[in-house]
């Protein structure tokens, strides 16, 4: 089962950007963590990061076309990108929104995510371990075309 782990703006700077908020795990470490967790769970995990919104949209569209599950850390796009939200709404399989920090305890503008309303679930504040938990959740879900599963949520 293919699962895309998609990361938005500034996540490529993990380990150097505000380590007091995001920790010392580097982006390379995060990729390795996701790939290892995916392998352990029998998932085909593809990890990507971009600072370009149009690139993220293309990846989400491709995931929708493939009926693939997505683990998404939309970064700052969480709070204002209706384009990313609408692309997420096209997904037919699970969408787990992940935030390394607890967005609800930070600045007021970070408290609301436009993505959450179309997500299967949201994990926030558990550091990079949130990715592993999201992948475990995806691995344990029935596929959207399985009997008795009428939706991705």
Per residue in 7-65, pLDDT (tens digit) is 999 999 988 876 676 667 899 999 999 999 999 999 999 999 999 999 999 999 999 99
Q: Which residue has the higher pLDDT, 66 or 24?
A: 66
Q: Give the annotated binding-site residues.
A: 73, 79, 86, 100-101, 110
Q: Is residue 135 part of a domain?
A: yes
**Is it the case that residue 150 has pLDDT exceeding 80?**
no
Q: Is residue 153 part of a domain?
A: no
pTM above 0.85, yes or no: yes
What phi and psi, each to the nearest 5 degrees, are found at residue 14?
A: -55, 145
Q: Which residue has the higher pLDDT, 70 or 142?
A: 70
Q: Is residue 17 part of a domain?
A: yes
42 is in which domain, residue-wise? Answer: 2-140
CA pseudo-torsion sign 40, 41, 42, 47? negative
CATH assignment of the domain containing 24: 3.40.50.9100
Whole-number pLDDT of residue 40: 97
Residue 29: strand, helix, or coil: helix
Q: Is residue 145 part of a domain?
A: no
Q: Is residue 8 part of a domain?
A: yes
Whole-number pLDDT of residue 148: 47
Per residue in 82-138, pLDDT (tens digit) is 999 999 999 999 999 999 988 876 767 666 899 999 999 999 999 999 999 999 999
Q: Give the annotated binding-site residues for substrate.
A: 73, 79, 86, 100-101, 110
Q: Indicate the number of domains in the chain.
A: 1
Q: Which residues are catalytic?
A: 22, 99
Whole-number pLDDT of residue 149: 46
Whole-number pLDDT of residue 146: 53
**Pairs from 55-62 (Cβ < 8 Å, separation ≥ 24):** 56/6, 56/8, 56/84, 56/87, 57/83, 57/84, 57/87, 59/4, 59/6, 60/6, 60/84, 60/87, 60/88, 60/90, 60/91, 61/87, 61/90
């Amino acid at each position: 089962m293919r699962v895309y782990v998609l990361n938005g703006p500034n996540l490529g700077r993990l380990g150097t950007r505000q380590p007091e908020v995001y920790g010392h795990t580097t982006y390379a470490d995060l990729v390795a963590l996701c790939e290892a967790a995916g392998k352990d769970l029998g998932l085909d995990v593809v990890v990507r990061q971009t600072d370009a919104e149009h690139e993220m949209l293309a990846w989400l569209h491709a995931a929708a076309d493939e009926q693939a599950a997505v683990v998404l850390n939309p970064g700052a796009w969480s709070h204002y990108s209706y384009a990313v939200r609408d692309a997420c709404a096209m997904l037919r399989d699970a969408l787990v929104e992940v935030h390394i920090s607890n967005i609800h305890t930070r600045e007021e503008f970070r408290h609301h995510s436009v993505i959450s309303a179309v997500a299967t679930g949201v994990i926030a504040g558990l550091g990079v371990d949130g990715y592993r938990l999201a992948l475990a959740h995806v691995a344990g879900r029935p596929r959207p075309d399985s009997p008795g599963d009428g939706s991705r949520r």
